[in-house]
Amino acid sequence: MGNEQQSGGQSEGIVLTEDQKRRRRQRSIAIALALGILVVLFFAVTLVKGPAVLTRPM
């Protein structure tokens, strides 16, 4: 699982392994899905409540 360390010149940095890239892509998709659900939730409640979405207790 180790990261491939490259040294010398301008390319110094950490290069992710294929497995690390795959896992990061999966995590990114999961975050995108979660944000998408949040957007849909706000949209749906706004449709249901209409202008009343801004009038809540407290």
**Interaction site with other proteins (CB under 8 A):** 1, 3, 5, 11-16, 20-21, 23-24, 26-27, 29-30, 37-38, 41-42, 44-45, 47-49, 53, 56-58
User: Of the two residues 36 and 42, which places its CB atom closer to other proteins in the complex?
Assistant: 42
User: Of the two residues 51 and 57, which places its CB atom closer to other proteins in the complex?
Assistant: 57
> To the nearest whole angstrom, how small is the minimum distance from the Cβ of residue 55 to other proteins?
11
For 51, phi and psi rounded to 5 degrees?
-60, -20
DSSP per residue, 12-55: -EEEPPHHHHHHHHHHHHHHHHHHHHHHHHHHHHHHHHGGGGG-
